[in-house]
Amino acid sequence: MCLDSKAARREAAGRTYMDKVRIGIIGTGYIGNVHGRIHSGDERAEISALFDIVPERALAAARKIGGRVCESREELFDNCDAVVVCTPNKTHVEIATDAVGHGKHVFCEKPFAIGTEAARGLLAVADGGNGVFQVGHNRRYAPVYTKLKELLGSDAAHSAHIKMNRGELKNPVWTGDVNVTGGFLYETTIHLFDMMRFQFGEIEELVAYGSQHEYPELDEFSVIFKFKNGFHSTFASSSDASWLFPFERIEVFCHHRTILTQEMEHLIDSKGFDANFETHSWAMTEKEERWGYVQEDRAFIDSILEGKTPPVTALDGFRSVELVESVYEAINTGKRIRFD
C-alpha cells in the first residue's frame, strides 16, 4: 500500500489534525517514558492516554508527562490518534496489530516482530492499515550515523568492521529471557543490522558462527556479510562484554581512508598517507537527541501530519527481523544464507 493512497483514505475518513496529534503510550517503562517526554515537548502532539499492565507505572508517567491513565487497551484506543508501542519484544506484534485494527497510527519499538512469519503477518497488517507505521530504529537519526552516511555519499566504501556489544542481559530482567526477547540478536544487535542496510545497502549473503557462555542462549556472534553492491563486512556481537566504551563501533575502510564511529559520541575521519584525522563529537549533545530519539519522534508526527512515508517503515522492520533469523539459521545449520 502506498502512503499517498493511505493519506487519501485518512482524509476520506475525515481524520484531520486541526489541533494536536493525541498520543497513547502502551508500556510506560524506560523507553515509554523517553518517547513520552519527547512528545510532551512537541507542540504538535499531546500525551492523551497511557496504559501499562502495572498501573502504578502508568500513574507515575502521567504525573510527569500528563495523559489519562487507562484501565485497558480499548480505553486507550478510544482516547488517542497514534499509539506508541513500548512493551517487551514478544508483545509487539499482537499490540501493534490491534492498534492498526483500531485505525491508529503506530510507532512500534524494535524489534518489529519475533520470527519471520510473525513479521510477515505484521507487515501485511501495517500495509493494509490507514495510518503511518513507523519502527523504532532510532540510530538512523543519531547525528553520528547521519554524518557517516553523508561522508559515505561522497566516497566509495570498500569494507567495514562492525561491533555491537552489551554489558549484560540482566537489566531489565526480561532482557535475559529468550521467551520474551526472542534472543540477544533481537534485543541489541538488531540495531546495527538495520544500520548496515541504511549505510551500505541490501545484503546478498552471510555466514555466521555463534556460541553460548553466560546465558541460556547463544550470546556471542561472529558474522560476515556480503552486500549486493560488492561491499563486505565483519560483525562481532557479545552480550557480556562489559559496558566498555565504545560498546558499538563501525569502522569503514575506503580509498586510503578510515571512518570510525564510537558509540553515538564521536566520528573520526582519517584520510591520506599520513596520520591526519578530523574528529566530530556529539558528546555534549543531550542523550535523547544524540541517540536519535527526538528526531524519530518528530519524524513520526511529521509523517502523520503530512501523510508521508516514515523514514523507517514496516518493511525496514521486517528486513531487520529477516536478518536476525538468517543469522540464527546460519549458526544452527552451518549453512551460508543467500538472499534473493
Residues in the site for ligand NAD, rule: CB under 6 A? 26-32, 51-54, 57, 86-89, 91, 109-110, 136, 138, 172, 187
Q: Find the shortest distance in angstroms from Cβ 54 to ligand NAD.
A: 4
Q: Find the shortest distance in angstroms from Cβ 138 to ligand NAD.
A: 5
CB 298 within 8 A of CB 134: no
Q: Find the shortest distance in angstroms from Cβ 25 to ligand NAD.
A: 9
**Nearer to ligand NAD among residue 157 and residue 314 (C-beta):** 314
**Nearer to ligand NAD among residue 78 and residue 306 (C-beta):** 78
Distance from C-alpha of 304 to C-alpha of 325, rounded to nearest angstrom: 31
**Nearer to ligand NAD among residue 88 and residue 307 (C-beta):** 88
**Nearer to ligand NAD among residue 108 and residue 337 (C-beta):** 108
Q: Find the shortest distance in angstroms from Cβ 91 to ligand NAD.
A: 5
Q: Find the shortest distance in angstroms from Cβ 334 to ligand NAD.
A: 29
**Nearer to ligand NAD among residue 35 and residue 105 (C-beta):** 35
Q: Which of 76, 64, 65 is nearest to 42 (CA)?
A: 65
CB 209 within 8 A of CB 222: yes
Residues constituting the chain = 340
Q: Find the shortest distance in angstroms from Cβ 290 to ligand NAD.
A: 12
H or E stretch covering 118:
helix 116-128
- Whether the CA torsion 170, 172, 178, 182 is positive or negative: it is negative
By Cβ distance, which residue is nearest to ligand NAD? 29
**Nearer to ligand NAD among residue 46 and residue 187 (C-beta):** 187
Burial 198-236 (b: 16+ CB within 10 A, else e): bbbeebbbbbbebeeeebebbbbbebebbbeeebbbebb
**Nearer to ligand NAD among residue 42 and residue 155 (C-beta):** 42
Cell of 330: 546460519
- Whether the CA torsion 8, 14, 17, 21 is positive or negative: it is negative
Q: Find the shortest distance in angstroms from Cβ 340 to ligand NAD.
A: 29
CA atoms within 13 A on the CB side of 340: 0
